[in-house]
Structures are given as C-alpha cells and as structure tokens.
Amino acid sequence: MTTSSERSVWGTRLGFILASAGSAVGLGAIWKFPYMAGTNGGSAFILPYIVLTIAIGFVVLMIEMALGRASRGGAAHALGHFGGPFWAVIGKISVLTGFLILSFYQVIGGWCLNYLFDACIGKGLITDTSALGTYFDSFVTNGPRAIFMQLAFLALTAGVILFGVEKGIERISKLLMPTLFVLMLCLIVRGLTLPGAWDGFTFMFRFNPEAFNGSSLLNALGFAFFSLSLGSGSMMNYGSYLSDKVNLPTSVSWISFLAVLASILGGLMIMPAVFAFQLDPAAGPGLTFVTMPAVFAQLPFGQAFAILFYICLVVAALTSAISILEMSVQFLVDEYHFSRKNSIAVNTIVLSVLGIICALSFGALSEFKIAGKTFFDLLDFLTSNVGMPIGAMGIAIVGGYLVWPVMKKQLTLTHPMNDKILGVTHFLIRFIVPCVIVIIAGAGLLG
C-alpha cells in the first residue's frame, strides 16, 4: 500500500479547489442542469437545488474528503481502513462506479468535441430544430466518427493524467476552470442582451409557490448529489492528496459554491437565449445539441459564440473525466502496486473498449439490449441508481457512525469549529443523509 509520504499531494490549495470544482462541475452544469431546470419548472427546481446542495451535498462532500485525507487513500482503501473488509468492498464498488461512468461519459465528451469541430468549420448552425435533430442522430449513429471522437476525448484525458497530480491535473485545472467561467460569462452577457431574454431569467429565478411539486423537489435532490460527484469515489481520491495544513470545511465550501455557480451560469447561458428565440425550454437532453445550434444560427457572429459554447462543454467534460480516470489509475497503484504508467495504459485500453461499445449503442448495437436497455443506458442506470447511492451510503455510515471522532479531528485540524455546527453536521450525516440516499435510489429504481 502506498504510504502517505509516497503519495502525491496538491501543490497549492487553489489548485485543489479548482481541480475538485472541475470534477464536480463536469457536463452536469452545462448539459444536464439547463434541461433539468427546463423540464422541472425553472425556479421550482433551481431554488431547492441550491438549498439542498448547501445543506446536504456540502456535508457529504466534506465527510468524503475527510475520509480520503485521513486514510491517505481512495475509496476502497479508506472505507476498508476505517470500516473493515465489508466496507472495503463498498469502496471498490464506488471505484467501479466511477470507472463505469467514464465508460459512457467519454462518449458524450466525444459529442462535445465533434460539435466544437463542426462549429469551427461553420457546420451545424441550422435554424430548423427538426433538421438539427436529424443531424444529431446521423452523427451518433455514425459508428466510425463517434468512436474516433470518443477515443480522442479519452486520449486528451489520459494525456493530462500522465503528467501526475501537481504537473498534470493541478496545472491544467488552474488554466481550464478560470477559462470556463470567463467564456460562460461572455455567452451570458450576449444572451441577456437579446430581446425577450429576460423571460428566461425570470423563468429560472422567479419564486412561484404553485410550481413546486414532489417531482421537482426529488429531481433537485438527485441533482444536488450528481452535481458534486458524490459516491463515485473521485472526490475521496482527491481528498487523499490534500495536505493536513488545509482547512477542509472552507475548501469544501468553495468547491460547493463553484459547483452551484457553474450550474447557475450554465442555465443563464442557455435559458435566456432559448426564450429570446421562443424555443422550448423543456426540450430535454437535446437542449444542448439540438436547440442551442438553432440559437447560434440566428445570432450575429453566431459561429464565434457557438465555438465559445462548445469549448465550454469540452472543458467541463474534460475536468470531470480527469478526476474519474485519476481515481481509477490510483486505485491500481494503491491496491495492486501497478506503476503509474502501466495503470494508465490498462485503464485507457479497457475504457476504450467499453467506450466503443457505448458509442455503438446508438448505431450498430442499438438493437442489443439488456433488461430493455442499450449498453450505454444500462451503465447510466446502474451507476446513477445503484453504484453512486451505495458509495454515498458507505461514506455516511463509516464517517457518521464508525469513525466520527476521526472525522471531527479532520474538520477541526487547522481551525476550531463551533460545537453546534459539528453537532448539526453529525446529525445530518448519520440520520438525514442516509434517508435522502434511500429516497433518491428508490425513486431512480422505481422510475
């Protein structure tokens, strides 16, 4: 087992925060959040999401990273070290979950690369959304092109990992995350200047009690966990690289804030423009790849804004993929004593194969189904509704019940913490969080 002295560490607190925020942000902020908000009543989804992320997601993330730092290991080592053999298995399930997420996530990353390439050559800016839907379908069912883009995205991710934590992940995060926020702000300013754009803003933030219902609240709860990558093992691995000199609660506060901010900015990038051109905010997952090109086609300098938009998507996808691949690479290094280069090679080869199968799920393998789901959809379902809840439950039980004194020490390692705040944190992680996880998992499995 790798000892703490041999383990990589973050060079700076800023690098850790930006890398962790990048892991949390991912495509969820720009691709998933806008269509989730659009299909769940705007503010009826957004306001509960903000509250639940601050109240619940923050606590789980803080304990997850505390477990990583205290054990100097990823999910399998941390849960096994503190909980015993059974919880080590739960930790391995968490690692496997992250690995399987990347298996299909890289395909979506490939879609982003493809749309960025098309935007650069002026292709795909069509005002007819039905034509854009056909265009999207023709791409994802084009096996060779979809596979090429998926492998290119995976190669980009592996290239960053090859340089290690400080020289690879931290350095690229310091460049990509500020770039992402600047580009998002540029697109937001342009979108808000469009006639009718303010309707999109009020749709997102106007408080309307009548719009709130159980479905929007449940979806907000699930997205609060999804948006912070809770239960997938990547955040615990990032926490294991953290110096004891860093104030964990403050750092996690910044990560949570940046994750929420990125989602809100993602919504502001898309919703005002959608309303300005009187398109459907409830277009679902196709909002990014079908609706937005129609918006850019009607904007002055639309090609330039399309390029900026898809750069944002690629950056968001890349920062999240980096954290997952790093977790899988470090797992083989820690548990099976692989060299880092060999671990990267093995992970990349296996992910390439799984990614190709996922990419072909929209074309040549679309008729091959397990339990009525394509391979892509099956992995998405299992990771979201089984793997991540299991991992999150492991964090809650081990951190909240088995080793709370160790967690308390981690939370107060650099600065004292108010006893009432500690008491509330302990109560949430022991009682509220497990209930929330059961509700999310149950809704996902039954839905």
Compute CA distances 441 → 194, 377, 435, 446, whole Å.
40, 16, 10, 9
- What distance in Å separates the CA atoms of residue 222 and residue 43, rounded to the nearest whole number? 16
- What distance in Å separates the CA atoms of residue 91 and residue 77, rounded to the nearest whole number? 7
**C-alpha torsion 303→22→245→339, nearest 10:** -110
Terminal alpha carbon distance of the chain: 41
The full DSSP string for 91-127 is: HHHHHHHHHHHHHHHHHHHHHHHHHHHHHHTT-S--S
Q: Which two tokens stand for residue 21?
A: 């925020």
Q: Which residues of 144-172 are buried (b: 16+ CB within 10 A; e: fewer)?
A: ebbbebbbbbbebbbebbeeebeebbbbb
* pLDDT at site 187: 87
* Contact in structure between 404 and 388 (CB atoms under 8 Å): no
* Contact in structure between 391 and 79 (CB atoms under 8 Å): no
pTM of the predicted model as reported, rounded to 2 decimal places? 0.91
Q: Which two tokens stand for residue 28?
A: 């969820």
* Contact in structure between 249 and 62 (CB atoms under 8 Å): yes
Rg of the chain on CA atoms, in Å:
21
* pLDDT block averages, 10 residues each, the chain of length 447: 58 91 83 86 89 92 97 96 97 96 95 93 78 85 94 96 88 90 89 90 83 82 86 93 94 93 91 85 75 81 89 91 96 95 97 97 94 93 91 96 97 93 96 93 83
- What distance in Å separates the CA atoms of residue 58 and residue 80, rounded to the nearest whole number? 23
Nearest to 437 by CA among 94, 163, 151, 185: 94
Q: Is residue 137 exposed (0-12), middle (13-18) or buried (19+ Cβ within 10 Å)? A: middle
- What distance in Å separates the CA atoms of residue 185 and residue 160, rounded to the nearest whole number? 26
Using the Cα atoms of residue 261, residue 266, residue 267 and residue 271 in order, give the sign of their dihedral: positive
Compute CA distances 402 → 225, 394, 405, whole Å.
22, 10, 9
Phi-psi region of 26 (alpha: psi -120 to 50; beta: other; left: phi over 0): left
**Angle at CA 25, nearest 5°, toward 27 and 176?**
95
